[in-house]
Structure 1
Amino acid sequence: MAHREGESEPRVYGYIRTGSAALTHIICAVFTVTIAVLSRPGSSLFSWHPFFMTLAFSFFMTEAILLFSPHGSPIKRFPHKTKGRVHWVLQCLCVSCALLGVAAISYNKHLNGKPHFTSWHGLLGLLTVCVVALQSLAAVPLIYHSLAKGWSLAKLKRYHAASGLVTYLLGSASLLLGLSSAWFTASVREYAWYLSALCPALPALIIMNQVTSAYMAKRRLQS
C-alpha cells in the first residue's frame, strides 16, 4: 500500500505540472492578444511599443523556455539538439521584438520632446532588453561548443539556465510595471487590471519552478 502511494505521488505532481504548463501557454497567448487588441498596432507610433514588448517577453520568451519542459513542451518528442536550436530562434525573435519596442517608444518620445527612460518601467525595460540580447549572444557556444574552449557543456548549460531565469524574471517585472502606466490603467477597469497583472506573475512562478526543479532533479541523479 505504501509502495502504491509512493508511486501515485509523482504522478499527481506530473498532472499538476502538465496543467500548469498548459495554463502558461494559454495565459501568454491570451495576454499577448489582449494587449494587441488594446494597443491596436499601427494606430500610432506608441502602439507598437506595448505590442512588441508583450510579444517579446510574454510570448516568445515564455515559449522558448517551455520548449524544455518535460510536461508542456510542444516538441517534447524531438531531440534536445533540435529543442536548443528552436529555443535560440525564439529568443532571437524575442530580442528583435524587444529592440523594435524600444525603438518605437524612443522615437515617439523624441517626436514629442519627452525625456527618455525616466520611470522605473523605462529603466528596467532598457536593462532587460540589454540583458536578453547578451543572453542570446552568450548562448551561441551552447550550439557551437567549439567556441567555448575550456568550458564544459554542462557548466555552460547551468550558467545559461540561471542567467536565463533572471532575465525572464526581469522581463516579467518590466511587463508588470508597464501595466501600471497611464496608458494601460486608462484602457482597462480595475478588476481587469488585477487579472492582467496575474498574466506575467503566474507564468513567472511556473517557469521558475520548471527551471529550479530541472536542476534539482539533475543534482539528485548525480548524488
Structure 2
Amino acid sequence: MERGMRSEVEYSPVEEGLGMRDFWLYVWLRRAAVVAAHVTGLGLTLIISLLSRPGTSLFSWHPLCMSFAYCLCLTEGVLLLSADGSFFCFKSRKGKVRLHWFLQALVLMAAAVGLGFMVASKNVSERPHLASWHSVLGACTLCTTVLQAGCGLCVSCPRLLRRPSSQPRLRLYHATCGLVVYLLATGTVMLAMFSDWFQATVKGAAWWAFLLLPLVPALVVMNQITSAYLPRKKMSS
C-alpha cells in the first residue's frame, strides 16, 4: 500500500525533466532569490528600526519589535530549512530544526513585546484598539502564530499525540499553517505602510519601493513550502 502511494505521488522539486543547462540556470536563480529574501528581510528590519527611532515614544518600540519578529526571525526561521542556501551552515537536520525553534520562539517573544507597547501606547493616548485594517490583520497574524507554534510543538514532541501515525500529516499541516502565517504577516507589514506614521516618514518613490519589498521574501517562502510539501503526481511522457 505504501509503495503504491509513493509511486503515484512525488515530492520532488520542479526542476525534474530540465536539461543540464536549464537545470543549473534554475538552481542559480533559486539561490539568488533566497539571497534576495535574506537581504530584504534584514534590510527591512534595519530600516524600519531606524525610522521608528526607538525610545522616543512607547509606539516607537512597536515597529522595531514587529519587524524583528516577522521580517527577520520568521523569514530566517523558514529559509533555514531551505536547501537552496541558508546563512546558517548546519549539515544536520537536527541542528537546523533546533535553530528553527529558537527563531520561532524569538518571533513569539518579540511579537508579544511589540503588542504590549502598542496596547500601552493606545491606552496612554486614549485611542481605540483594532480601528484599522492593519491592526485587525495584525491580531489575526498573532493568533495564527500562536496556533502555528502549538502545531509545531506537536510535531517536535510526538508523545503529545495520541495517534503517532498522524505525525506525517501534521507536518503537512504545520507547513501549510506556516505559509498562512507568513502571508498574513506580509499583508500586515504592507498595510503598516499605509499608516499615518509611515506615510509621514517615507514619501515618493521610496514609499512604493517599501510597499513592494515584503513581496520578495514572501514569494520565496511560498515557493519553498509548496515545492517541498505539496504532492506532485508523476507526469508520464
**In 1: Cα distance, 2:78 partner to 2:225 partner:** 9
Q: Give the number of aligned pairs.
A: 218
1:219 CA displacement: 4.0
Aligned Cα RMSD in Å?
1.8
Q: Describe how 1:143-154 pairs up with structure 2 within 5 A.
A: 143-150=156-163, 151-154=165-168
Deviations 1:129-182 (A, max 9, x none): 111022112211222112123143321211100010011000000000001100
Equivalent in the alignment of 2:22: 9
Q: Tell me whether 1:138 sits opposite 2:151 in the alignment.
A: yes
Structure 1, unpaired ranges of 5+ = none
Q: Tell me whether 1:91 sits opposite 2:113 in the alignment.
A: no
**In 2: Cα distance, 1:153 partner to 1:78 partner:** 24
**In 1: Cα distance, 2:72 partner to 2:143 partner:** 18
If asked which structure has higher relative contact order (CA below 8 Å, sep 6+), I would say 2
Deviations 1:95-140 (A, max 9, x none): 1111111111111110111111111100110110111022112211
Q: Tell me whether 1:128 sits opposite 2:131 in the alignment.
A: no
1:6 CA displacement: 1.3
Q: Is the 8 A contact 1:68 1:76 kept in 2?
A: no
Equivalent in the alignment of 2:127: 114
Which moves more between the two structures, 45-54 or 68-77? 68-77
Which moves more between the two structures, 32-41 or 150-159? 150-159
Equivalent in the alignment of 2:6: none
Q: Tell me whether 1:209 sits opposite 2:223 in the alignment.
A: yes
**In 2: Cα distance, 1:220 partner to 1:20 partner:** 26
TM (norm. structure 1) is 0.92
Which moves more between the two structures, 186-195 or 167-176? 186-195
Q: Tell me whether 1:19 sits opposite 2:32 in the alignment.
A: yes
TM (norm. structure 2) is 0.87
Per residue, is there more helix in 1 or in 2? 1
Q: Describe how 1:183-222 pairs up with structure 2 within 5 A.
A: 183-216=197-230, 219=232
User: Secondary structure of 2:58's match?
Assistant: coil
Structure 2, unpaired ranges of 5+ = 1-17
Alignment identity in percent?
38
1:220 CA displacement: 5.3
1:214 CA displacement: 1.4
